[in-house]
Amino acid sequence: MRVVITGAAGGIGREARHQLAGRYSVLRLLDREEVDPAGPDEECLKVDICDLAALEAAMQGMDCVVHLAGVSVEPESNAWEQVLPANIVGTYNVFEAARRAGVRRVVYASSHHAVGYHRRSEILTGAALPRPDSFYGVSKVTGEALGRLYADKYGLSVVSLRIGAYRPKPTDIRHLSVWISPRDMVELLRCSIEAPLLHYVVAYGMSANSRAIWDNREAAVLGYRPLDNAEDFAAEVLADGAPELEGAKPFHGGWYCGWDLGDHGLFID
């Protein structure tokens, strides 16, 4: 198995590199920033995902691409201007380069913000319709749609992962439902890389949280069995955790649904 990781210098990329070291015959690490020197069975390349030709060259001879690169949060200013090239054009480039290079699978780092305006009273599956809560969420909906297109039209095997709150531990009440630990995140990536014979799957990136608001049966199909549970931190979060924005509490997307509203107020159907 020969695997490419885009965004290898980012938080999830660094953790994946550490936990997956030595697992694959080649782990090719791409980022627009310099990546730490290559270890055994690693190759480090400075590549911008906005450069289609460079991406295509970097994917030659590879079996799977894990696409983590892009703007990872909603920027507080000029959001669309930042999200458009990095998360939409760049994601198109990744799928198109993979197709041209004959890569068989793409694992796409989507986000639960693609469905952030669904209410928390609704348990979501991977079949939940898009309801983005931000321009960032819109970019992830677009990436999922590109993945579906490239699976259906060109035969790529695609996994879209709606990642929850990735961090060492949960820090607010909503995280008790949507948190994913670094250990579980990389295990989900590994399962997505190695699962046999799949066409297109949407799964959620979360740990085995007792308060889960997502039905993650699709991740189970991949063979994912998370080990961590946000409930282990519940007492600390309930005592000292950050408060939620009041208007954002009904929604899966949390504070993304409640900020940058100006005088328009919060849409609630």
CATH of the domain at 187: 3.40.50.720
| 24 belongs to the catalytic site | no
Q: Residue 139 falls within a domain, yes or no?
A: yes
Q: Residue 264 falls within a domain, yes or no?
A: no
In this predicted model, what pLDDT tens digit does every residue of 130-144 receive, in sequence order? 999 999 999 999 999
Report the side by side order of strands in the sheet with 200-205: 42-46, 26-31, 2-6, 64-67, 105-111, 157-163, 200-205
Q: Residue 262 falls within a domain, yes or no?
A: no
In this predicted model, what pLDDT tens digit does every residue of 153-195 receive, in sequence order? 999 999 999 999 999 999 999 999 999 999 999 999 999 999 9
Q: Residue 193 falls within a domain, yes or no?
A: yes
Residue 262's pLDDT is: 54
Domain around 146: 2-257
Q: Residue 135 falls within a domain, yes or no?
A: yes
pLDDT confidence bin for 242, thresholds 50/70/90: confident
- The torsion of the CA quartet 80, 86, 91, 97, rounded to 10 degrees, works out to 140
Q: Residue 99 falls within a domain, yes or no?
A: yes
Domain count, the chain: 1
Q: How does the average pLDDT of the chain come out, rounded?
A: 94
Q: What is the pTM of this model?
A: 0.95
Residue 24's pLDDT is: 98
Q: Residue 144 falls within a domain, yes or no?
A: yes
Q: Residue 28 falls within a domain, yes or no?
A: yes
Instruction: Choose the catalytic residue: 117, 136, 166, 204.
Output: 136
